[in-house]
Each structure stands twice: as C-alpha cells, then as structure tokens.
Structure 1
Amino acid sequence: MAVAIPLSELPVVDRNTDPNSFPKENFTSGAVVVMNKPLEWSSFHLVKFIRYRVPPKKVGHAGTLDPLATGVLVVCTGKATKSIEQVQQLPKEYVAKITFGASTPSYDAALEPDETAPWEHITEEKIADVLKHDFSGEIMQKPPIYSAIKMKGERLYKKARRGEKVEIIPRPVQIYQTELLSVDLPEITLRIECGKGTYIRSIAHDLGLALGSRAYMSGLERTAIGSFNVHSALSADEFNRFMKTYLD
C-alpha cells in the first residue's frame, strides 16, 4: 500500500513555478497543482482539463467547489493523489456574497427562491452580533440537501431532484473567523475561515433564519486552502501556457 507523501515534500505548480526548471518526472512522481476554478466549471471538469494535459492520468482534487463558485482548487497528480486527505484537512478561507430576503432549495443562486421574508429590520450591528454568538468556534451545521454527501449509498442531490424528503442530521464544523467585508443590504460580503466539511451555503441559509429573515449565497470565492492562495493560483489559460513551455 502506497504511503502518502508529506505535503512539504511535494513539488507545487502555481504562478511562481518556472516551467523550464520543473523536472519532467515531477507530475508522475507526484505534484500539487494550485488552480483558480473558473465560474460554471465543475470541480470534475477542471480535473479532466488537467488530466488531458499532464503525463500521468491519475489526477484528483482536494475539496469540491460548486459550479457557481470560483477560487482555489488544489489538484494532485500521480502519487500525490495519496496526499489529498492532507490538503482536505487544511483550514479554508472563503469570500461569500449573501443576499437576504429570500431562500432557495439549494441555499445558493443555482435555483429560484422558494420562500421570501422581510429583511429591512436587519442592521450591520445585528449581523455582527449573530456572527459572533452563533457562527464562531464549533457549531452544528446541517448540510444542504443539494449536496454531494452520500446517504445510503446515494448522493443527496439525486434524492432532492426526485423531490424526496430527507432528514439530514446536523454535524459539527469549525468556524475559525468571520469578517464583514461590506454591507449593502440586502446583500453583504463575508470572509469566512473554517475547517473541513463546512458548507458556506448553509451558513448563508442559517444566518438568514437567525436574523428573522431568509437568505441565500449569491456568490462564492475560495481564496485559500492552507498556504495555497488564489493570488498564486493558475487560471486555465495560464496552465495551458505552463504546459506548452514545459513540454517544448
């Protein structure tokens, strides 16, 4: 059984990597590719994009991003796929846009609102107070039914699409820090540092309820996973240019 390689020993491909000095065997022996996932691409779409361009066909990602989210997606190649769990355990940082006054079945903008509620009573002070008391440290969170979590061997979103009623059990997640970046009600922009398994969509939904309203996540960017950040992440075009130089 192959042993996972420590992350600190794996070569990293990002904007700071020189393709001319990147050893040819690195992708096969195991490399970490830091990508900036484009809007409307699925995480699997990005994995396929990389798989068709690197020498080894063994490629996997560490932490799914929804199609309507952008930002850091860490992709591992070759033997580095054994180290994916190490990446998944790292703290994550997100910048989320949350819109009050309506909720959706998916907790984001992928589906049309199914419920509405007043939002005019919400203030910046009330938001800050609720974040401090209800969304800090270890909290119990119920994932959205439109998620890839498996229940009895089947993804929840498949049950949701069939209209099945599913009892989802809340689970503990860790919120390290929240910061209000902007408030332009009914929309706010929130920075969130959190642990593995946290659904930002659920934070948006639950924040709306905690404030006596409804809310959904109207935009999301993952800005960091551990020390891997969006500023050094490669766009799809940049990765194409890297590989062209690398293979020439």
Structure 2
Amino acid sequence: METLTAEHYQEGQVLLIDKPLQWSSFQAVNKIKWSLKKHLGLKKIKVGHAGTLDPLATGLLIVCTGKFTKRIPELQGMIKEYTGTFHIGATTPSYDLETEIDATFPTDHITEELLYKTIAQFLGEIDQKPPVFSAIKKDGKRLYEHARKGEEVEIAARKTVIHEFEITRIALPEVDFRVVCSKGTYIRSLAYDYGVALQSGAHLTALRRTKIGDYSVKNAMIVTDFEESVTPQ
C-alpha cells in the first residue's frame, strides 16, 4: 500500500471510516483532522464527511480531505444501504434509544405474515416526517432544541425513496431489517411509521450503514487504524 504524504491528503483523498457506537460524525472527522495535522505537520487541511450518522449508529462514514471536499455534495446524493433492528410494541420520543420508552402497544395480532406484508407500503416514493429529535432547522432553531424544551413543532413531510426493504430476522419484539434508500431518509422515522402501519408501535434499537453508492463498509477502517496508518513526516 502506497504511503500517503501531506500532498496526497491536500490534493484530496476519499477515506472510508467505520464509525464506532457513541461517536458523533463530527468527532470522527475531528479525530482524523487532528491526526493528519499532528503526524504530517499540517497547519491547515480541509476535512469533511458526506452524510451524518447518529451517535447511536455505526458503519460507513465517507470522509473527504483537501480538494476532494468539493465532492461531498455528489457523495451525499448517493443511495445508501442500512441494516438494523426495530423493537416492536413500544415507541420513544426520539424514535430510537436516545430517549426512554414513552408508550407501549399491543403486539398479539402481529404475525410473521403481517410483518412481511406491511413492508410493501413503504417501497418506492414515500412521504416521511423527520423525527422531532433531529438537526433540521425550524424557525431558526434545530428541531431537537424545540423537542428538548417540550415545544410542539409542526414538521412538514418530505419525499424520500425506499428502493429495497427486507426483513432478515424475526424474534419478537425484535425485527432485523435491511433497507436501501435515497438521500435524506430517516431510518428512525421508518421504524416509527412501520410500527404505526402494524397498528402497534416501534422504535430503532440498532443501525449500521453498510453502503453509500458503490462504497462498502467492508472496505472501511476504524479511526484508530487510520491514525496508525498516517506515517509521521
């Protein structure tokens, strides 16, 4: 493997990072930036990511350096693949494990057949409301700021496309899934809406981004391995 120099990173690199649980995408980018500055003696270098992953999600984060930061919008527009787990029969305000369960619902009527059949409602172009616990801005504030203050906010639905949606394991209340979707899709909202469609409730308990376009998490490295790969100059 070619040793990359400061010039290589300034000219532009696309780095595939496997983001760990509990890290924000911002933290991962900062760690990479710090590592490049420290080991390569760079005073300044542009580093950015192509698509945020929530702290409670793991998986593929594309990080661009130098001149390749101009490619971020193009990379953000690529379709994405996720795998994860829904918990059926309960909801949380954030639609994931960031907040406590706020309501429980009946699940006695939920059969394997119903779980598979309900998927069809979500294939193709759908209208999806982002979670109230998200970074989207409304009235000059991020939605999660409104949510944490207990403020009611009307959120407009957005068009998104679900290209593929399959159930890969059923062990109620847990259901594992794989989804291929367009930019701007919230898997947390998909979990919530799927629960409603089942005449029950659901929230997301695990999420991993496995692909962005043709880029796969199989070819990604963890941040500590990246740090070790940067040769001091």
TM (normalized to structure 2)? 0.94
Match of 1:169 among 124, 148, 156: 156
Secondary structure of the 1:174 match is: strand
1:52 and 2:40 correspond: no
Deviation, structure 1 residue 247: 2.8
* 1:123 and 2:123 matched: no
Partner of residue 195, structure 2: 208
Are the equivalent residues in 2 in contact too, given 1:36–1:233 (CA < 8 A)?
yes
Matched positions, count? 227
* SS of residue in 2 equivalent to 1:45: helix
Give the Å deviation of 1:57: 2.7
Partner amino acid, structure 2, of 1:43 = S
CA deviation string 1:134-169 (max 9, x = no partner): 110000000000001111222110111111000001
Aligned with 1:31 (options 13, 17, 39): 13
Q: 2:131 aligns with which of 144, 147, 150?
A: 144
Deviates more, 1:112-121 or 1:65-74: 112-121
Gaps of 5+ in 2: 37-41
Aligned-residue offset at 1:120 = 2.2
Partner of 1:75: 63
Q: Distance in 1 between matches of 2:215 and 2:232?
A: 25
Instruction: Work out the CA distance in 1 between the residues paired with 2:146 and 2:204.
Output: 22
Residue 24 of structure 1 deviates from its aligned partner by: 4.1
**Partner SS state of residue 25, structure 1:** helix
* Structure-1-length-normalised TM-score: 0.89
For the aligned residue pairs, the C-alpha RMSD in angstroms reads 1.1
Deviations 1:144-200 (A, max 9, x none): 000011112221101111110000011100100011111111111000000000000
Question: Which moved further from structure 2: 146-155 or 68-77?
Answer: 146-155
Q: Is the 8 A contact 2:50 2:63 kept in 1?
A: yes
Q: 2:25 aligns with which of 43, 64, 67?
A: 43
Structure 1 stretches (4+) deviating beyond 6 angstroms? none
